[in-house]
């Protein structure tokens, strides 16, 4: 008994020490003492030259983002960040809000807005987020944040993600309002195609299961109620399945989706989406080829397959010619190659666009970019980027050039 007593005392002392440490880790003050600042500044020059009557656009803008990410207390945390987009120099471009309709569009309106303001709860089997937030699902082909534009697209609502077993993620989101890239506010120059805030009730369901490194399967249903976007004609229900993975450096993606009308959409929608993509990577060099189809549909109005909440700039070319799918749909055959170069990354893409219905050849597009960290200041990166769209049967020849510096703390 005398031998056990010190041992029991030692265990009790160790237990008390552990409990005290655990209690300290969960102290309410951690929300503040472990908080981290958010600071990001992005300068961009954008030039747009179109073969039409519009004047060439030359836009210089600065996006400044500041905020705070709190620490955690029993899994609870909070985040708030604000954005300001300011024009530098003359307004020789159409921001969609400045009334400069004689110029080509550079969709970066001036203004300040709360970009995110949320409460988050994390635990072993998932998380829940309430408030204004980023929502980026899968490759952002249907739901994304459009981070390329100076005013990011964020969502007011709730997001629940559950991970009941290893490899399985179940996501549900309810969206009450979409804060679009055209914000922060409307004025006399806005249209039904570019509201600052998209009102309505949307429900996002996404189930992703990583079966093995070579196969990830994702099933989804997105019910979008977008009441004040193009008169509600892009309110839709989209159901689909995506398979992707990689084997011995060869990557692939297969996807199919079907879209029908939803909520108070005045149009009768029924169109399909297909994707086939293959890629190969070796020692930093990545090659990719793909064929993407957004189906058209005959009838009154544009009833083609639409992706109104996607990060569209990442698809169908950087010239942003096909932000709204043409009524005859679109088939996009593309090639891309990226490789490391002089401490940065060089990326080149080629697109060939055709109508999904009929025989129209819309045109071709060439994209080229080079991104590199800037020596001497951690967090500073530079980007040079260009796009050239050669029109045949759709839109007009369009050239775009971007020069960008971004600092992230």
CA-to-CA separations, 153 to 58, 107, 115, 136, 379, in angstroms, rounded: 23, 12, 8, 10, 23
pLDDT tens digits for range 165-191: 999 999 999 999 999 999 999 999 999
- Whether residues 177 and 321 fall in one domain: yes
Q: Which of 321, 385, 312, 390 is nearest to 347 (CA)?
A: 385
pLDDT range class, residue 150, cuts 50, 70, 90: very high
Backbone φ and ψ of 9, nearest 5°: -65, -40
6 and 52 share one domain: no
| Residue 320 sits in the same domain as residue 352 | yes
Q: What CATH number is given to the structural domain containing 201? A: 2.40.160.10
Would residue 317 count as lying in a domain?
A: yes
SS3 of residue 165 by DSSP: coil
Are 21 and 165 in the same domain? no
What's the whole-number mean pLDDT along residues 79-106?
98
Structural domains in the chain (count) = 2
Q: Among positive and negative, which fits the CA dihedral 85, 89, 94, 99?
A: positive
What mean pLDDT do residues 30-45 have? 97
Residues 349 and 210 in one domain: yes
Q: How far apart are CA 133 and CA 276, in angstroms?
A: 31
Give the residues across from 403 on adjacent strands.
Answer: 45, 384
pTM: 0.92
Distance between CA 127 and CA 383 in Å, rounded?
35
In a domain, 179, yes or no: yes
If asked whether residues 348 and 387 sit together in one domain, one would say yes
pLDDT at 315 over 90: yes
**201 pLDDT more than 90:** yes
User: Does one domain contain both 161 and 302?
Assistant: yes
Does residue 114 lie in a domain region? Answer: no
Same domain, 198 and 245: yes
For residue 1, pLDDT over 80 is answered with no
**81 is a domain residue:** no
Long-range contacts at 213-219 (CB < 8 A, ≥ 24 apart) = 213/245, 213/246, 214/245, 214/246, 214/247, 215/243, 215/244, 215/245, 216/243, 216/244, 216/245, 217/241, 217/242, 217/243, 218/138, 218/242, 218/243
pLDDT value of residue 25 = 61
User: Over the stretch 120-129, which tens digit does the pLDDT of each residue have?
Assistant: 999 999 999 9
For residue 132, tell me if it sits in a domain.
Answer: no
Nearest to 310 by CA among 138, 108, 90, 146: 146
Residue 151, domain member (yes or no): no
pLDDT of residue 13: 41
Q: Mean pLDDT, to the nearest integer, of 358-384? A: 97
Strand partners, 335: 289, 350
Say if residue 233's pLDDT is above 80: yes
Q: Which domain holds residue 10?
A: 1-30
For all residues of the chain together, what is the average pLDDT? 94
DSSP letters along 31-75, please? HHHT-EEEEEEEEEEEEEEESSSSBPEEEEEEEEEEEEE---BTT
pLDDT at 298: 78
pLDDT confidence tier of residue 146, bands split at 50, 70 and 90: very high
Residues 239 and 281 in one domain: yes
Alpha carbons 363 and 351: distance in angstroms, whole number: 8
pLDDT for residue 22 is more than 50: no
Binned at pLDDT 50, 70 and 90, residue 78 comes out as very high
């Amino acid at each position: 008994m005398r031998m056990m007593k010190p041992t029991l005392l030692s265990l009790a002392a160790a237990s008390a020490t552990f409990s005290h440490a655990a209690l300290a880790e969960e102290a309410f003050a951690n929300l503040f003492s472990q908080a981290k600042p958010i600071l990001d500044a992005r300068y961009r020059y954008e030039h747009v030259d179109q073969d039409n009557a519009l004047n060439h656009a030359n836009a210089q803008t600065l996006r400044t983002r500041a905020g705070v990410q709190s620490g955690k207390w029993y899994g609870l945390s909070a985040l708030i960040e604000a954005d300001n987009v300011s024009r530098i120099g003359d307004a020789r471009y159409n921001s969609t809000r400045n009334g400069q309709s004689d110029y080509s569009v550079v969709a970066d309106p001036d203004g300040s807005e709360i970009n995110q303001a949320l409460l988050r709860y994390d635990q072993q089997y998932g998380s829940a987020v309430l408030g204004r937030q980023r929502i980026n699902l899968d490759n952002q082909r249907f739901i994304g944040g459009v981070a390329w534009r100076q005013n990011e697209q964020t969502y007011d609502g709730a997001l629940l993600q559950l991970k009941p077993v290893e490899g399985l993620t179940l996501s549900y989101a309810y969206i009450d309002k979409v804060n679009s890239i055209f914000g922060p506010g409307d004025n006399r120059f806005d249209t039904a195609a570019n509201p600052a805030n998209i009102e309505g009730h949307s429900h996002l369901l996404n189930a992703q299961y990583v079966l093995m490194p070579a196969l990830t399967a994702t099933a989804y249903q997105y019910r979008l109620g977008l009441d004040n976007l193009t008169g509600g004609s892009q309110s839709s229900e989209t159901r689909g399945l995506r398979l992707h993975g990689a084997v011995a450096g060869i990557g692939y993606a297969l996807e199919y989706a079907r879209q029908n009308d939803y909520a108070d959409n005045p149009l009768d929608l029924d169109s399909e989406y297909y994707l086939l993509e293959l890629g190969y990577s070796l020692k930093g060099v990545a090659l990719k080829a793909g064929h993407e189809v957004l189906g058209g549909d005959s009838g009154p109005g544009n009833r083609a397959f639409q992706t109104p909440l996607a990060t569209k700039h990442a698809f169908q070319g950087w010239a942003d010619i096909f932000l709204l799918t043409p009524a005859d749909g679109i088939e996009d055959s593309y090639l891309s190659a990226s490789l490391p170069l002089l401490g940065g990354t060089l990326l080149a893409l080629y697109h060939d666009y055709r109508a999904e219905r009929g025989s129209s050849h819309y045109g071709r597009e060439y994209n080229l970019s080079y991104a590199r960290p800037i020596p001497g200041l951690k967090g500073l990166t530079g980007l040079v980027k260009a796009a050239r769209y050669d029109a045949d049967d759709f839109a007009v020849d369009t050239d775009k050039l971007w020069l960008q510096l971004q600092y992230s703390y």
